Amino acid sequence: MLETILNSVKNIEGDLMTSSKSKAAGGGYVDPVSNFPTLTPKHNSLAASVLLNRPDLYTKYCNSVTSSGFTFDNAIQAGIDAPHLGVGAVAGDEESYETFKDFMDVVIEGWHGYKPDDKHKIDIDANNIKLTAEQAKKFDQYVISTRIRAGRSIRGLPLPPGTNRAQRRKVEKLLRKGLTRMTGAMAGKYYPLGGMTDAEEQELIDDHFLFQKPSPRNVLANCGAARDWPDGRGIFHNAKKDFLVWVNEEDHMRVISMEQGGNIKNVFARWSAAVGEVEKALKAEGFEYMYNEHLGNVCTCPSNLGTGLRASVMLKLPKLYKSWGVHKLEEYCDSLGVQARGAKGEHSPPGPSGEFDISNKARIGYSEVELVQQMIDGVDRLIKLEESL
């Protein structure tokens, strides 16, 4: 199969007359035939599938490089080294989505069903969320906890897979300054990952705040985002511990709002306010978020483009689980535009009292309010089914 693909690449190269040795990163030429990645049946990522079906895209981009120095091979390396990954491609900077546009467009459409000429929209006004008093009462009864998170990136600075040490530290400095200036309920403390005490680290672990460490199983270690770990990384949380920010993990920033119970409007309002306050601080320093009308908010992984938002609740569904089982419940949630995960992730059993993590499925093409509303409507339907049994 690989030989057939390589021959196809060679023929395409001849047709396009690209064999004249153009310069790539570092001034060297990459031969698209001899340098084509080895992909096996174990390579399950979308990026691997795209390359197998469209080897011409490797020919087109293998000698392309963004102005910050991020190459096409950098973009696809995660899916080659970690065959189990779902997407298998990342961006090293905002420019990656334009420099490797035809490839990225296929990946984005394959993952989201979002076409190259589609336009994204934004709405982070919590007042536009619809939740009746009756629904709120039921949510308080059945929802254990609520959590909303989304990534944001700073325009003009490379994303974690493509950054150098100075740029990563610049991101940390900007975000730390903005976060520590917050007042009122948002006021809190920033913990540099490499500078916290043992007691502080243990407290963050106990609170389940500490983000994942690089491992062969996660995209972090395989896309180049884990270089120099833990330099330039950190965590911020407010005094009440219902607002949290990860700095320089997979994205420049992951903003997380959470609390016990089912007050989704309150959680979303806090998240929205935090995103806005950090943006104000960035603009005061001459920076802004990466955003455009097609991709929405630009993040490292194509799966998080658009809103980058995941709104979820831990929902008690003991009767529905007993009656339907995991598979049927997951299928039904899918038909509602939401995703059901068990206590240990996708396709796993629920918690001891039949708890499932229910979240929005889509990320791009819908506004933040629309996605939260989809989750609310889906949870409302699930609660009614639970009560009917």
Using DSSP, state whether 37 is helix, strand or coil.
Answer: coil
How far apart CA 78 and CA 90 sit, in angstroms, is: 8
Structure tokens, 218? 């996660």
Binding residues are 145-149, 208, 254, 310-314, 341-346
Q: Which of 266, 250, 247 is nearest to 258 (CA)?
A: 266
DSSP string, 198-244: HHHHHHHHHTT-SPPPP-TTSHHHHTTTTTTTTTT-EEEEETTSSEE
Binding residues for ATP are 145-149, 208, 254, 310-314, 341-346
- Is the backbone of residue 141 left (phi > 0), alpha (psi -120 to 50) or beta? alpha
What residue type is 109 in one-letter code? E
| Range 348-368 burial, b when 16+ CB lie within 10 A, else e | eebbeebbbbbbbbbbbbbbb
Strand ranges in the chain using DSSP code E only, listed in sequence order: 143-152, 188-192, 234-238, 243-247, 253-260, 291-292, 296-297, 310-316, 338-341, 355-360
User: What is the rounded radius of gyration, in angstroms, for the C-alpha atoms of the chain?
Assistant: 22
Using DSSP, state whether 160 is helix, strand or coil.
Answer: helix
Strand ranges in 53-99 using DSSP code E only, listed in sequence order: none
The DSSP symbol for 35 reads: T
Q: Which of 330, 306, 346 is nearest to 378 (CA)?
A: 330
